[in-house]
Structure 1
Amino acid sequence: MPQFIKPLLAHLAMLVLACAPGAAHAVSHPGPIVPDIAGGRVVLHRAVCARDARPLHMHCHAHVVVRADGTPLGGKAAVSASPPSGLSPADLRNAYHLTLTGSNATVIAIVDAYGYPRAESDLATYRAQFGLPQCTVASGCLTRINQRGGTTLPVTDTGWSQEQALDIEMASAICPACRILLVEADDDSEANLAAAVAMAASRGAIAISNSYGGAEDGTRPFAHAYHLPGIAVTASAGDSGYGAEFPASAPLTIAVGGTRLVANATNARGWSETVWSGTGSGCSAMYDKPVWQTDPLCTKRMMNDVAVVAAPGTGVATYGPLGPGNTSGWMVFGGTSVGAPMIAAIFAAYGAKPTGARSLWRHTAELYDVIKGSDGACGATYFCEAEPGYDGPSGNGTPKGKAGL
C-alpha cells in the first residue's frame, strides 16, 4: 500500500463519521423520460439515479433507453444467437482503435454506491455473449468489497445496481484480461464514496472509475481523495448539459465528457463523433487551474479532458437489473457513466501510470478531434461549443489507441 494512502484512509474515516446522514436513504427513483434527438431519430431515455437533493450527496450518470411506458428497451434473454441492441465491445474497440486487452496483473477499480447482488452473474452473461473470457470471484478476476474493505455489502439500490452493471461491463469490454475490483460505498454521500476511492487505491488499482457527480459546494475536504499519483482516476462529467460537477472538476481527476458515436463508411476511421447535448462541461467555480491547462478563458479548473460515446441514441449494450427484484436482461445505456470506466480501462489495458489529467494534454494530436455539437448556452465559447482543438464538452478529443494517453 502506498504510504500516502494510510493517512488518507484515516482522514476520510473521520469525515464519514462527521458527515453520516441522520436517516436511511430510500431506494432511488429514476429520472423523467426525455428524448435524445439526432438526425431526425428520437430515442427515449431516463436517468437511472434521481438527483439526491441533500448537500454532499452524488447521483450516478447512467441513462437507460426506454419505451414510452418507461420500461427498458431490450429483452430478458440471456446469451442469445442474435446480438443485443447497442454498441458491442468490438464496436467500441474498433471505434477507438484499441488493440491491447490488459493482463491479470492489472487491477481496474469501479467505485459506486450501494450493493449489486447480481454483479457476478450479470457480468458472466455479458462476457459470454461477446466471447470475452470468464471473470469470476472464485478465479480472483472479480472482487467485491465495501468501503472498509470487508465483504459485508451495502443495501441494494436498483438505479445504482444498473450503474454498476454498466461500469463493470465497460471495463470488461475495453480491458477483458484485467481484474475488476468493485468497491461499493455505503450510500451516495461524497464522504462514503471518497472513502471507497481511497480503499480502491489501497488495493493496488492502476485505474479507478467514478461514474457519479454532484454540486461542487462543500467538496474541498474530499478533493484530495481523487489525487492519487500514478493512478488514473476518472470521473464522468455529468448528464445535465453545460455546468461543472465534482469530482470531475477536481484538478487532477480525468474528467470524461460525452459524444454521439455513429458508424460512417465514408471516412477512413469508419466512425463519426459529435458532442452529446447532455454531457457536462464547464469552468469550475471552486478549484484552481492546473498549471498544465492551456485554455485561455477559464481562470480555474476547466473540464473536460477527454470524451467517449455517451448519447443514449448511440448507446452501449448492457446486461443488468431491469428493475426492482431479481430479473436481469439486456438494455441500452448512455450517459457520461459510459466513459469513466472506458477511459480507466484504456489506461489499465496499456499499463499507463498517468500524472492525473495532465496526461491528456501532452499528446493532443494523437486524439480524435470532435469539432461539432454543443451542450448548452455559454456565450458561444468553447466552454460548451465544440471547435477544432480543445473544447469543454469533448476535452482534447476521443481516444485513438494508446498514443494520446
Structure 2
Amino acid sequence: MTGLTQGSAVHKPQTARVPDQRNDGAKRSAAATPSVAKPPASQCSDYWGEFQQTVPAVDGQTSVNTYICGYQPSQLRKSYGTDGVVKGGTTGKGVTVAIIDAYASPTMESDANAYATTFGEPTFKPGQYTETTFGPFNLQDECAGEAGWNGEETLDVEAVHGMAPGASIHYIGAQNCDSGIDDALNYVVQNHTADIVSNSYGNLGEDIGSDEIALEHSIFLQAALEGIGMYFSSGDDGDDVIDGLSPTPDYPASDPLVTAVGGTSLLLDKRNNRVTETGWETSLDFIDYSGSTAVYSAPLPGEFVFGAGGGTSSVFAQPSYQRGVVPNSLSQVNGQQKMRVVPDISADADPYTGFYIGETVDGQFGISSIGGTSLAAPLIAGIQAVASQHRRFPIGFANPMLYSINAHSFADVLDTAKPIRFASVGASYTGTFNTGDTQTTTRGYDNTTGRGTPNGVTFLLSELIYPFRF
C-alpha cells in the first residue's frame, strides 16, 4: 500500500504536552531585545502550590502557582479511590486489556518495567505483557512515523499497568494509522483478544466518509455483542472550533457503541488529596516583555490551546442509555431530533496536570510528562480492569451500565467558583483552567466530562453488582 485508502481517515494520537520548558513556549517579541527582564526561572510543582512564579498581576496577585510536573500511578489511584483495593489485591488480575495503536515501540516492555521500578510499582510478570504486530509497518510519512506514535504507545501501556498492575496487557500494533487500525480492531474482535480495549486515537470531527464509519461501527457492534468494551479518547481540540469547524465531537468516540472518555484538569495537594478537578479546557495568555512594563498579550484568559473533545453528534441519534441523563439542551443542540452526546466518563487529561511516562528516545531511557485524552482513556480502562476482577462475567460494552448506576458512583466534575490560574516555569505565560471553547462543565452530565470521574469504591461496587449483560 502506498497511499491512504479511499473513503477512510487517518487516525492521530490524542496526546498533548506542555511546551518545551527550555524556551517555555514563549512567543517572540517584536522587539529584538526585551525592555523588561523576565523573572528567574522557577520549577514545575509535584503538588499544587509547591512552587510559584512572578507574573504581571492577575486577580490581584503577582505570584502564581506553577503547573504540575506530572503525577505517578499511586497518586492517580489514590485520587480516584482505587489505591486501597489495589493494595488489597484487587489489581485486575485475570483480566486482559488490549491496547491498539499504530506501529510498536521496540522498547515498550522494558520501558514499562524501568518506569515501574522508578516509581516503586510492580514490574510485569513473565507473560503478563504480550504483543501482536502487523508488519511491515507502512504509510509512515502520512502517519508521522513510528517515532511519532511511540510516546502514545508508552503512555497507554504504562497508564493501564499503573492503574491495574495485575491485569494482563496485550498490545496490538497496527500496520499504519489508516486501514491498519481497522484491521487491528477487527483482529481483536474476531479473536476476542481481550474484554477491555483501550484506543487513544481518533479523527478530527465526524466528516470522514460514511463507508469508513459504517465499517468501524460494524466492528463495534460485533464487539458489543461479544461482551468486549471499547474505550476511546474523546479528543484534545475541545469541540473542534479551534480547527475552524462547527462544534462537533470526534469519531470514533461519537459512535454510540463505544465508551468515550473525556478529560479533566486534576489538582492534588501535598498529601495527594484532591484540591479540585474541573473540565479540561486550558487557555494561555503570553506575556509581552518588550515595553516599559510586562503586560499580557491579550485580555485574560488568553487563547484556548487544548481541551477534552466533546459535543453533539450530527451522525448518530441519541442512544437509549442517554435518555433521562443527558439534558435536551445538549442532545437537541442541532435541531429537534435528540442526538448522541460525547463523552460518557472522564479522567485526568490536561498536560498541565499530566502523567509521568518512561520512554527510551535515541537509546536513552528518560522520564517525561504527557497528557491528553490519550491519558484519560487508558486510566479508565485500567480502572475497569480492577472493577472486572471479581465479576462473574465481563463488563463488556459499559455504557448501558455507566448511565444506569447511581450518580454517587461518580465524582461530579464542576466548574470552579473563580478562575484557577497557573504560571509557566519561565514566566512566559499565565494559564487558566476550564476556559476557552463552547463546551461547558456543570453539575450533572456535561459535554466535557460526561457523567464525571470514577468515585472510588462506590464506583467499583456499583459495577460489581450491576446485573446488565449486553
Matched AA of 1:367: F
Say which of 292, 304, 308 aligns to 1:279: 308
Match for residue 288 of structure 1? 317
Does residue 225 (structure 1) correspond to residue 219 (structure 2)? The answer is: yes
Looking at structure 1, the residues matched to 250 and 262 of structure 2 have their Cα atoms a distance apart, in angstroms, of 11
What are the Cα deviations for residues 6-34 of structure 1, in whole angstroms up to 9, with x where unaligned? xxxxxxxxxxxxxx55279xxxxxxxxxx
Looking at structure 2, the residues matched to 369 and 404 of structure 1 have their Cα atoms a distance apart, in angstroms, of 16
Match for residue 401 of structure 2? 359
Normalising to structure 1: TM-score of the pair?
0.76
Match for residue 240 of structure 1? 237
Shift of 1:115: 2.2
Match for residue 348 of structure 2? 309
1:5-404 matches, within 5 Å, as: 21-22=2-3, 56-68=9-21, 85-98=69-82, 99-100=85-86, 101-135=90-124, 139-147=126-134, 152=135, 154=137, 157-189=146-178, 191-201=179-189, 202-214=191-203, 215-216=205-206, 217-218=208-209, 219-227=213-221, 228-229=223-224, 230-242=227-239, 243-264=248-269, 270-277=274-281, 278-294=307-323, 295=326, 296-297=328-329, 298=331, 299-322=338-361, 325-351=362-388, 352-363=394-405, 364-372=407-415, 374=434, 376-378=436-438, 384-401=439-456, 402-403=460-461
Match for residue 46 of structure 1? none
Shift of 1:377: 4.0
Match for residue 33 of structure 1? none
Shift of 1:199: 1.9
Looking at structure 2, the residues matched to 340 and 200 of structure 1 have their Cα atoms a distance apart, in angstroms, of 18
Looking at structure 1, the residues matched to 3 and 193 of structure 2 have their Cα atoms a distance apart, in angstroms, of 33
Looking at structure 1, the residues matched to 381 and 234 of structure 2 have their Cα atoms a distance apart, in angstroms, of 14
Shift of 1:64: 2.6
- Percent identity over the alignment is 29
Alpha-carbon spacing, 1:123–1:141, altered in 2? closer, same or farther (3 Å): same
Matched AA of 1:370: V
Shift of 1:333: 0.6
Matched AA of 2:262: G
Alpha-carbon spacing, 1:235–1:328, altered in 2? closer, same or farther (3 Å): same
| Stretch of structure 1 that moved more, 92-101 or 216-225 | 216-225
Cα RMSD between the aligned structures? 2.8
Looking at structure 1, the residues matched to 154 and 249 of structure 2 have their Cα atoms a distance apart, in angstroms, of 25
| Stretch of structure 1 that moved more, 326-335 or 177-186 | 326-335
What are the Cα deviations for residues 180-219 of structure 1, in whole angstroms up to 9, with x where unaligned? 1000111111x32122123223243121000011032222
Looking at structure 2, the residues matched to 311 and 404 of structure 1 have their Cα atoms a distance apart, in angstroms, of 27
Looking at structure 1, the residues matched to 383 and 397 of structure 2 have their Cα atoms a distance apart, in angstroms, of 15
Alpha-carbon spacing, 1:335–1:404, altered in 2? closer, same or farther (3 Å): farther
Aligned partners of 1:369 and 1:397 also within 8 Å? yes
What are the Cα deviations for residues 68-89 of structure 1, in whole angstroms up to 9, with x where unaligned? 55799x9xxxxxxxxx941111
Aligned partners of 2:98 and 2:194 also within 8 Å? yes
Alpha-carbon spacing, 1:127–1:68, altered in 2? closer, same or farther (3 Å): closer
Matched AA of 2:219: A
Which secondary structure state, in structure 2, belongs to the residue aligned with residue 63 of structure 1? coil
Looking at structure 2, the residues matched to 206 and 118 of structure 1 have their Cα atoms a distance apart, in angstroms, of 25
Shift of 1:107: 0.6
Aligned partners of 1:279 and 1:375 also within 8 Å? no
Matched AA of 2:3: G
Aligned partners of 1:226 and 1:247 also within 8 Å? no
Alpha-carbon spacing, 1:70–1:207, altered in 2? closer, same or farther (3 Å): farther
Looking at structure 1, the residues matched to 157 and 107 of structure 2 have their Cα atoms a distance apart, in angstroms, of 12
Shift of 1:133: 2.3
How many equivalent pairs are there? Answer: 333
Shift of 1:223: 1.6
Which secondary structure state, in structure 1, belongs to the residue aligned with residue 408 of structure 2? helix
Shift of 1:362: 1.4
Shift of 1:235: 0.3
| Runs of 4+ deviating beyond 6 Å | none
Looking at structure 1, the residues matched to 349 and 18 of structure 2 have their Cα atoms a distance apart, in angstroms, of 12
Looking at structure 1, the residues matched to 161 and 370 of structure 2 have their Cα atoms a distance apart, in angstroms, of 15
Query: Which consecutive residues of structure 2, in runs of 5 or more, have no partner in the other structure?
Result: 26-42, 44-67, 139-144, 240-247, 282-306, 332-337, 389-393, 417-433, 464-470
Aligned partners of 2:234 and 2:249 also within 8 Å? yes
Match for residue 466 of structure 2? none
Which secondary structure state, in structure 2, belongs to the residue aligned with residue 164 of structure 1? helix
Looking at structure 2, the residues matched to 159 and 22 of structure 1 have their Cα atoms a distance apart, in angstroms, of 18
Which secondary structure state, in structure 2, belongs to the residue aligned with residue 396 of structure 1? coil
Shift of 1:358: 2.0
Aligned partners of 1:197 and 1:208 also within 8 Å? no
Looking at structure 2, the residues matched to 275 and 367 of structure 1 have their Cα atoms a distance apart, in angstroms, of 14
Alpha-carbon spacing, 1:159–1:354, altered in 2? closer, same or farther (3 Å): same
Match for residue 12 of structure 1? none
Normalising to structure 2: TM-score of the pair?
0.66
Aligned partners of 2:415 and 2:441 also within 8 Å? yes
Looking at structure 2, the residues matched to 203 and 131 of structure 1 have their Cα atoms a distance apart, in angstroms, of 32
Matched AA of 2:149: W
Matched AA of 1:318: I
Matched AA of 1:194: D
Aligned partners of 1:145 and 1:153 also within 8 Å? no
Shift of 1:285: 1.3
Which secondary structure state, in structure 1, belongs to the residue aligned with residue 322 of structure 2? coil
Aligned partners of 1:194 and 1:226 also within 8 Å? no
